[in-house]
Amino acid sequence: MAVVKLSEEVDVGPGLLNKFLEAYPLLKKAYDVLTRDSEYAALVEMSNIMAVKRLLYNDHGPVHAKIVAGSALEIFERLVESGVKPTTLEHRTAENYEQALLVVLLGTMLHDVGNSVHRSNHELLGALLSRSLVSRVLTRVLGPKVDAKRRYMLRQEILHVIYSTAYDVQSLTVEAGSVKIGDGTDMSQGRARFPYRLGKNDIHAVSALAIEKVTISSEEGKPVVINVYMREKAGVFQIERVLQPKIATSGLEKYVVVRPFHNGKEFKI
């Protein structure tokens, strides 16, 4: 199936995912199956209870998952359009491009469910928790036309995506690296509003509130350009402490550049 034609610059937000769900029937089916699964719904709700209500962290629930999914798929497709080969296709763990996208989508939607147990080691916990859920979803989505061995291989790729979102874990696939960077792009003001209302007034909340929007574009030699628009330079903290460390262990560093803007003007960090 052909790659979605990419626009020059897109906003990172909940609506970005819809472009991919509309373009790829397999992704739409997987999204519907996953989000209607009662176990998934419970894990996501518990993740936000643990992270937001108990620890006063930024959103780690369904909105965050949807935002990151759209961003990760956008990053992945820009890399592919620039000539980067999906690792799942190179190593033949996926049969086709749409299955490679499926790894990105499901890995993203599940990347934070480990928070339902504890914030500490939540990436490892998430990979362990997701095993049976991923198997169930893949069986329903791919059906009997895809044999069990293939489903197991795709499952392991998805679990690798989840585990690799940890700052100190090196991503070993283009798919995992795209999700890891996509996770770092959800840093704009809306993500911090709930913990801020609950009284969290630290640099994490203040810096997220300082960022107006994040966009993804491309330029010559850099297929992924992440533009961060902020009203206050406190937003730099999000770039330095959240986004850049994820890029550094994504395996995709040479393809990505981050451009910060303050009041519409680019500046150097």
Does residue 244 form part of some domain? yes
pLDDT at 269: 83
For residue range 118-145, list pLDDT tens digits in order: 999 999 999 999 999 999 999 999 998 8
Domain containing residue 147: 10-261
Q: Are 123 and 163 in contact (CB under 8 A)?
A: yes
Length of the chain measured in residues: 269
What is the number of structural domains in the chain?
A: 1
Residue 153 lies in a domain: yes
Q: Is residue 4 part of a domain?
A: no
pLDDT score recorded for residue 196: 44
Q: Is residue 2 part of a domain?
A: no
- Give the pLDDT confidence of 22-31 residue by residue, as tens digits: 999 999 999 9
**pLDDT tens digit sequence for 30-80:** 999 999 999 999 999 999 999 888 988 777 788 999 999 999 999 999 999
The verdict on residue 128 lying in a domain is yes
Whether the full predicted model's pTM is greater than 0.75, yes or no, is: yes
Pair of tokens at residue 218: 């491309």
The residue ranges of DSSP E strands in 123-241, in sequence order, are 211-219, 222-230
> How much is the pLDDT for 55?
86
Look at residue 267 and tell me if it is in a domain: no
Residue 5 maps to a domain: no
269 lies in some domain: no
The Cα-based distances of 7 to 161, 207, 216 in angstroms read: 26, 28, 10
List CB contacts of 150: < 8 A, sequence separation 6 or more.
95, 142
Return the higher-pLDDT residue of 164 and 1.
164
**What pLDDT is recorded for position 61?**
83
